[in-house]
Structure 1
Amino acid sequence: MIKVDSLYVKYKDFCAVDGISLHIRENEIYGIIGMNGAGKTSTVECIEGLRKYESGEIRIGGLDPIRDRKKVHELIGIQLQDTSYQNNARVYELCELFSSFYKEPVPYKQLLEKMGLWEKRKNMVAKLSGGQRQKLSIVLAMIGKPKVLFLDELTTGLDPNSRHQMWDLLKELKEQGMTIVLISHFMDEVQAVCDRIAIMDKGKILIVGTIDEILKKYNLTQRMHFQCQSKQIFEMEKLPAVEKVEQEAGKCTVYGKGDDFVASVVSWLDSQKMEYSSLDIQKPDLEEVFLYLSGRTFENEEME
């Protein structure tokens, strides 16, 4: 559905996107994640035909987003991170305006109800909360029944319940045949909804794959936590899959790697007839992969 080959984007002497290539398949939810300045938004804006690029080739549904701009915009829906509308416009007025852009728009009542905004349809934009504005931007992006939907920081400003509702909506849209490109810095979000992801940093793509593929590829350290008073616990460090063991006031943490790490630890505990409780297994997540690849963490980072 979307092909990007050797894309370069520069701002004066700064290279924002450094020769990346990617292929987004039809009917998948594809996540692009990275820190502020990673090049995520610049990449997507080039695909959408909203930004010119230095060099490279982009095709969306076989169309060039610059040369075939009008046809491309008939295929896509865009929810921007910093979307702003006239504060004195009413919700239903914006919906009617956007509906007029398309031959067969989705009835906006249906979308507003889905987002819990139907009761707010006569409200001015200025009277909406940040989360409600975010929902409105998604409604307007979907009015044209796009084949490809671009979402930039989809759930920013939404409460936990609304975030989960959004995730369910994305899965429904995928089931209906839509391709979705999601820019996000929320690790739980991409893990919950994305079929594949690309991790970007400093204008480059570090890795592309499914969540499982990426986590398995780097075989990062797992942690097991449990309560155990025995000092014999340190003998577990002799196991091949175990890296180290810590114990403080009866609280034990075992570090290790490999598919058999958890099974080998539990088997050893049982074989030694040790009494233990409150077993908790902590597996590596995407943020740990990002830290491993880039040496940086998302903590205290601003969004792009």
Structure 2
Amino acid sequence: MLAIEVANLRTRAGSTVTSFTVERGEIFGISGPSGAGKSATVECLAGLRRPGHGTVRVLGLDARHDGAELRRRVGIQLQHAELPGKLRVWEALDLYSSFYRQPADWRELLDAFGLSAWHDTPFAALTTVAKRWLAVALALAGDPEIAIFDELTAGLGPEDRHDTWSLVERVRNRGVTVVLVTRCSVEAEVVCDRVIAT
């Protein structure tokens, strides 16, 4: 069964028309330059934006009409997301978990994604890579079937980038379908099972 079916999607007037499918359990890449509509596309997949034209079905749901249910079943790390500077790592995970009827165990996410050493650290004091790994854990707080990562490794050095690629693989190994948005063609080739260019 397909996890995602997109046909003739246009996110705004004049934007490129996109069609693709995503299989359950794969890491699917959406690659392209800045401003190509990658973020708008995945916001449609997560129920955060209504498609301007075309059809988007995610987990059998219509993204145009079932946004609330999609937000319960799809986790997303947005490209430009910040938390209050004084919010501690464990508090953020506990807070995000409280938004869902059947959340993941945030303590297990803390351990699984290398955040134990930072559990009591305020968000403002985290390194860039720790902030990204926290974003991954927060995207999984609702125990989603699909996780979307938007430019997850932007601004990271080579070593941190490679460690984060391994982190994405661990997400897939948990049985989660992954959609990875990236401008980096090497990242798309290394991490993803399939890639479309926008």
TM above 0.5, yes or no, is yes
Q: Which amino acid aligns with 1:163?
A: R
Indicate yes or no: 2:5 matched with 1:3. yes
Partner SS for 1:92 = helix
Indicate yes or no: 2:113 matched with 1:115. yes
Distance in 2 of aligned mates of 1:64 and 1:142: 22
Is contact 1:76–1:149 with CA below 8 Å preserved after alignment?
Answer: yes
TM, length-normalised to structure 1: 0.61
Deviations 1:155-177 (A, max 9, x none): 22334333222222322332332
Q: Which amino acid aligns with 2:168?
A: L
Could you tell me which residue of structure 1 aligns to residue 150 of structure 2? Answer: 152
Shift of 1:26: 1.2
Could you tell me which residue of structure 2 aligns to residue 175 of structure 1? Answer: 173
Is contact 2:56–2:64 with CA below 8 Å preserved after alignment?
Answer: no
Q: Which amino acid aligns with 1:27?
A: G
Indicate yes or no: 2:41 matched with 1:39. no
Q: Which has the higher contact order (CA 8 A, sep 6+)?
A: 2
Indicate yes or no: 2:83 matched with 1:85. yes
Q: Percent identity?
A: 36
Q: Which amino acid aligns with 2:146?
A: V
Shift of 1:22: 1.1
Could you tell me which residue of structure 2 aligns to residue 163 of structure 1? Answer: 161
Structure 2 residue corresponding to 1:101, chosen from 74, 99, 102: 99
Shift of 1:110: 2.5
Distance in 2 of aligned mates of 1:93 and 1:177: 26
Distance in 2 of aligned mates of 1:103 and 1:39: 32
Is contact 1:134–1:157 with CA below 8 Å preserved after alignment?
Answer: no
Do the aligned partners of residues 131 and 175 (structure 1) sit closer, same or farther apart at CA in structure 2, a change above 3 Å counting?
closer
Do the aligned partners of residues 177 and 114 (structure 1) sit closer, same or farther apart at CA in structure 2, a change above 3 Å counting?
closer
Shift of 1:43: 1.1
How do 1:43-62 residues align onto structure 2 when only pairs under 5 Å count? 43-62=41-60
Could you tell me which residue of structure 1 aligns to residue 182 of structure 2? Answer: 184
How do 1:1-304 residues align onto structure 2 when only pairs under 5 Å count? 1-10=3-12, 15-16=14-15, 18-200=16-198
Q: Which amino acid aligns with 2:37?
A: G
Is contact 2:30–2:181 with CA below 8 Å preserved after alignment?
Answer: yes
Distance in 2 of aligned mates of 1:175 and 1:128: 26
Distance in 1 of aligned mates of 2:49 and 2:90: 30
Q: Which amino acid aligns with 2:127?
A: S
Shift of 1:194: 0.6
Is contact 1:32–1:181 with CA below 8 Å preserved after alignment?
Answer: yes
Equivalent residues, number: 196
Q: CA RMSD in A?
A: 1.7
Is contact 1:131–1:157 with CA below 8 Å preserved after alignment?
Answer: no
Is contact 1:4–1:20 with CA below 8 Å preserved after alignment?
Answer: yes
Distance in 2 of aligned mates of 1:165 and 1:123: 21
Distance in 2 of aligned mates of 1:114 and 1:63: 30
Shift of 1:195: 0.6
Distance in 1 of aligned mates of 2:124 and 2:170: 30
Q: Which amino acid aligns with 1:170?
A: V
